Amino acid sequence: MSRGERFDRLDALRGAAIVWMAGFHFAFDLNHFRLLDPRQDFYADPFWTLQRTAIVSLFLFCAGLGQAAALDAGQGWPRFWRRWAQVAGCALLVSIGSALMFPRSWISFGVLHGIAAMLILARLAAPLGRWLWPLGALAIALPAVWQHGFFDSRWSNWVGLVTHKPVTEDYVPLLPWLGVVLWGLAAGQWALARRRALLSGPLPRGLAPLALLGRWSLSFYMVHQPVFIAALTALGALGLTGR
């Protein structure tokens, strides 16, 4: 990968994940402000839970693809740590914000916390090459076959081997989700070595906004919920919501 090479297809895929996530979160907010059918259950209804699984999977797969592209470009550890610090800092802000809004179910290890931890592990595991596939499969399968009560506390549930899901607004532990990142990394390494056009090929003009959004995914992630909530709160103050 040359220093000027840009994988617009990867950015567009990440942008598509962002749009899907924003739609999901807006529906969640509408439900929170009682503007949806009160029978909607975002925590148990498969219509919503399966969407969340798919959205998180797409995000993490893109994170793995992005690491493959970064390593292909020769990204060193100093640049990696600068980007990592942005993700980790935003994760901390999410924890603080969620604690203010949902004190009983605040986010201690959500998607950004998970990505921050998984990026380090993925970078260290990158030299494994094709062995990333079975390693990823093991990470995905392990929580389904073994759990232990030790991992049920807030200080240890980030591993993922819990006996029951913690009460939190977002939970993306290392296991099984690390497996998705490793598969994304493995797929990216394979594509860059054998089918580079899958990532570097031209992007239809109509998808250019998605690519732009994908390049600013972290910034969008951090601002979209405050904007949604502020707008709905303002509508509530005007008596236009059910709260």
How does pLDDT run across 65-119, given as a tens digit for each residue? 999 999 999 999 999 999 999 999 999 999 999 999 889 999 999 999 999 999 9
Q: How many CB atoms lie within 10 A of CB 12?
A: 21
User: Domain limits of the chain?
Assistant: 8-237
pLDDT at 190 over 60: yes
Q: What SS3 state is found at 44?
A: coil
- 92: amino acid identity, one letter: L
Report the greatest alpha carbon distance in the chain.
58
When pLDDT is cut at 50, 70 and 90, the band that residue 43 belongs to is confident
Long-range CB pairs of 197-201, under 8 A, 24+ apart, other chains included? 198/9, 199/7, 199/9, 199/10, 199/65, 199/69, 200/5, 200/7, 200/9, 201/9
> Between 175 and 238, whose confidence is greater?
175
User: Which letter does DSSP use for residue 165 in this model?
Assistant: -
Helix then strand count (H, E) for the chain reads 9, 0
When pLDDT is cut at 50, 70 and 90, the band that residue 13 belongs to is very high
Q: How many CB atoms lie within 10 A of CB 124?
A: 9
Secondary structure in 3-state letters for 186-227:
HHHHHHHHHCCHHHHCCCCHHHHHHHHHHHCHHHHHHHHHHH
- 69: amino acid identity, one letter: A
Contacts of 129 by beta carbon, 8 Å cutoff, 6+ apart: 186, 189
Contacts of 26 by beta carbon, 8 Å cutoff, 6+ apart: 228
- Kindly report the backbone phi and psi dihedral angles of residue 73, in degrees, each rounded to the nearest multiple of 5, phi listed first: -80, -5
Decide if 199 contacts 192 (C-beta within 8 A). Answer: yes
Residue 242's pLDDT is what?
Answer: 56
* pLDDT digit string, tens, across residues 144-153: 999 999 999 9
Structure tokens at 218: 């972290």
User: Which letter does DSSP use for residue 56 in this model?
Assistant: H
